Structure 1
Amino acid sequence: MASEAQDKKRLIREIRTVLRQEQVLLRRQPWGAEAGRIIERFSTGGKLWRGSLLIRAHRWYCGDAETAVYPLAAATEIMHAGLLIHDDIMDRDDKRRCRPAIHRELSIMGEAKRLRDCPHFGLSLAICLADLCFFLAQGIIAKISPDTARQKRLARITTEEYSQVILAQMSDVELGATRARVCPAQITRLYLYKTARYTFSLPLMLGALLAGQPDKELKQLGRFGAYLGLVFQLKDDDLGLFGQESQTGKPAGSDIRAGKQTLLRSYLTRQATPRVRARLETIFGNRDASPDDIILVKQLAEKYSARADIKKLMTAYSKKAGAMIPSLAISARYHWAMRRLIQDNLVRRR
């Protein structure tokens, strides 16, 4: 059986292969070759979590991965690349993975060419580049299976899940701009559709679909993945404040400066005194919040047990995922791998 490291190496090769197969299409336009190079580098430079999970899920049901699973896994990573590019633009994040975000990289490229209005140039080209990721990924997905019925199911599931991601992103933008207090249920729903299902449920369901599993099993697997995905987002929130930039790739406190509505923020503001709450409101959403401001939020999150409460919630979701394992149509010999996935998700540092 292939190891996770071997799966990732093969996934990187597959991403490069499917993109190079599109070179004839890309090279019809002056920007095609450069766009292809940027997409290849960006889509292979992350954790490759979603594509690797898709391959693993397929193996849990089949015992080995069939050829079609690799292009599908590559497509999920290319789609993810496009979503990240758009996400950094909307969040006004200039760093990703310890280097300039794509829109900032393209802006710098514009400066080197002595173009006018380089920030707008970078944003505009990044939007186009992300759109290109979406179309290339959909093109790959459309060619995955010669089985018409299976291909229709594949198209239906990917369309439904990615559409929910975009609608959740719209909610994220609105919640980040609102002056009203946001309740935990709203934030949890946002987490579910913006991150949880797209990061875990979708890859798991696609791997199972290619393995010939029925919709009933996919629905159960989607629930299992949703619990893991909620933990993933909660852990991201924690790392975004308490993690090391060298590991997360983004400055600590970037979500605070962006005014993101997170459960950590919700718990903290609800548990703090009115005076402390008023001080926090001057920090959240303040693009000029100082490093000392971020340190203060960290201290208060510990003092008022907001961080501890989030950890308890992550543990609860992880236990719910673990309790579902026996109900899935997966051989018991893979249960240890599923439990390790739950644990790795809970303790990751990047």
Structure 2
Amino acid sequence: MTAVLTRFISEQDAAAVESRLAGHWERRVTAAADFGDDYAALWSAIARSATGGKLLRPALVLGLHEQLGGDHGDAAVEVAVAFELLHTGFLLHDDVIDGDLVRRGRRNMLGERVDQALAAGINGADAERWAQASAILAGDLLIHDAQAVIARLAVPEPLRLSLLDLLDDAVFASAAGELADVALSAGTARPGLHTVLEMTTWKTAPYSFSAPLRAGAVLAGAPAQTVAVLARFGGLVGRAFQLRDDVLGVFGDEAVTGKSTIGDIREGKVTAMIAYARETPSWAELRGLLGRDAADGDVARLRVLLVECGALDYVEGLISHAVAESLAMLDDAILPEALRAELARLSHQATERVA
């Protein structure tokens, strides 16, 4: 059974989501076989890439729907599946953009396809191009699948259209965040702290927190005021979640996170820590340690500088402030007591995690 980040989702609901996902992969692999072995192999690789996640987004959809008294149980599972498909698609695209070959402690799809091509005697550049095309197409397919799942929901049309709009909003905002992330790293956008924090929020909060929370509430027929509170709460928790992810991307334990702790440094990612450090005297030395050629000693020194210049403490303060603001928002919200308690737990768990 997949371990989830919150207690919103029961083992029974988690099993239902995983069963629907397994059926989806089986149907896609079978259909892909008509287009050749490689296309079927691509879908099999997509299915493998989806395993091992925390089912956070499905948990939020199902938990909100249940705790707000919803009666669209089957549709809620389908929406939960849609958000997991969307998440997997975004991860595939993210790995291509970042050039990452490992996720969840194992070779990701990009890494698998590179290895396969090299083993077949394909030269490095062509192997990388084939692997990147595979992952980009796979991500595109999953985003389409997520939309198709919601478009086919057996619910009244106004509700279905509202859910499609939620998904569209999440995709739109997340793409803006990803583009801003790359622009900052490439130097085509000014790396001011405000810009970096906006990117941090857009990249994760809409599709990982705000949209799933809102979707569960909309399915349950919650009033617009409740949906609006959940959107703002999700934005705050999502920002804190991504800030924690940025910290773990430099200071985390690879054995626990399943991700490289030098990837962000070698990619020259402009996180909130880096944006803060740029305004300190340490930047004169620190800037030379970022980039693809960073050695292990450079990475170790960069970590020391981020601590000494106050960048790490600053981001920890941002995380604490976002959590406190999200909790204060819950105090003023008209929500069931059990739901407020679970949302508060979510806010803490999302930011105190080590993986």
TM-score by length of 1: 0.92
Q: Does 1:175 align with 2:184?
A: yes
Please list the CA deviations of residues 279-329 of structure 1 after superposition, one character each: whole Å capped at 9, or x if unmatched.
211112x11101111111211122222211211111111011111114434
What corresponds to 1:193 in structure 2? 202
**Counterparts of 2:188 and 2:157 in 1: how far apart (Å)?**
49
> Map of 1:253-292 to 2, 5 A cutoff?
253-271=262-280, 273=281, 276-284=282-290, 286-292=291-297
> What's the CA shift for 1:101?
2.6
Are the counterparts in 2 of residues 61 and 329 from structure 1 also a CA contact under 8 Å? Answer: no
Are the counterparts in 2 of residues 59 and 65 from structure 1 also a CA contact under 8 Å? Answer: no
- Summarize the Cα distance change of 1:22–1:122 in structure 2 as closer, same or farther, 3 Å threshold: closer
**Counterparts of 2:141 and 2:346 in 1: how far apart (Å)?**
32
> What's the CA shift for 1:18?
3.1
- Summarize the Cα distance change of 1:216–1:2 in structure 2 as closer, same or farther, 3 Å threshold: closer
Bigger mean CA offset, 234-243 vs 109-118? 109-118
2:279 partner SS: helix
**Counterparts of 2:10 and 2:286 in 1: how far apart (Å)?**
42
> What's the CA shift for 1:22?
4.2
Q: Does 1:146 align with 2:155?
A: yes
Counting aligned pairs with the same residue, the percent is: 29
Please list the CA deviations of residues 25-75 of structure 1 after superposition, one character each: whole Å capped at 9, or x if unmatched.
434321443233222221232222222222222222127871211121111
1:67 partner SS: helix
> What code does the residue aligned with 1:169 have?
E
> What's the CA shift for 1:21?
4.2
Are the counterparts in 1 of residues 8 and 342 from structure 2 also a CA contact under 8 Å? Answer: no
> What's the CA shift for 1:229?
0.4
> What's the CA shift for 1:127?
1.3
- Summarize the Cα distance change of 1:94–1:21 in structure 2 as closer, same or farther, 3 Å threshold: closer
Are the counterparts in 2 of residues 82 and 133 from structure 1 also a CA contact under 8 Å? Answer: yes
**Counterparts of 1:20 and 1:71 in 2: how far apart (Å)?**
16
What corresponds to 2:100 in structure 1? 93
**Counterparts of 2:51 and 2:273 in 1: how far apart (Å)?**
31
What corresponds to 1:342 in structure 2? 347
- Summarize the Cα distance change of 1:213–1:22 in structure 2 as closer, same or farther, 3 Å threshold: farther
- Summarize the Cα distance change of 1:64–1:4 in structure 2 as closer, same or farther, 3 Å threshold: farther
- Summarize the Cα distance change of 1:162–1:2 in structure 2 as closer, same or farther, 3 Å threshold: closer
Are the counterparts in 1 of residues 71 and 220 from structure 2 also a CA contact under 8 Å? Answer: no
> Map of 1:322-337 to 2, 5 A cutoff?
322-337=327-342
**Counterparts of 2:177 and 2:51 in 1: how far apart (Å)?**
25
What corresponds to 2:4 in structure 1? none
Q: How many matched pairs?
A: 346
**Counterparts of 1:2 and 1:310 in 2: how far apart (Å)?**
28
**Counterparts of 1:20 and 1:328 in 2: how far apart (Å)?**
43
2:74 partner SS: coil
What corresponds to 1:321 in structure 2? 326
Question: Any gaps of 5 or more consecutive residues in structure 1?
Answer: none
Are the counterparts in 2 of residues 197 and 226 from structure 1 also a CA contact under 8 Å? Answer: yes
> What's the CA shift for 1:142?
1.1
Q: Does 1:221 align with 2:230?
A: yes
Please list the CA deviations of residues 95-150 of structure 1 after superposition, one character each: whole Å capped at 9, or x if unmatched.
21222231221121223334452121111112111111112222112112331110
Are the counterparts in 1 of residues 70 and 219 from structure 2 also a CA contact under 8 Å? Answer: no
Question: Any gaps of 5 or more consecutive residues in structure 2?
Answer: 1-6
**Counterparts of 2:52 and 2:71 in 1: how far apart (Å)?**
26
Query: What is the alpha-carbon root mean square deviation over aligned residues?
Result: 2.1
Are the counterparts in 1 of residues 49 and 108 from structure 2 also a CA contact under 8 Å? Answer: no
Are the counterparts in 2 of residues 199 and 229 from structure 1 also a CA contact under 8 Å? Answer: yes
> What's the CA shift for 1:267?
1.5
- Summarize the Cα distance change of 1:289–1:151 in structure 2 as closer, same or farther, 3 Å threshold: same
- Summarize the Cα distance change of 1:179–1:137 in structure 2 as closer, same or farther, 3 Å threshold: closer
**Counterparts of 1:332 and 1:29 in 2: how far apart (Å)?**
52
Partner residue of 1:35 out of 24, 27, 42: 42
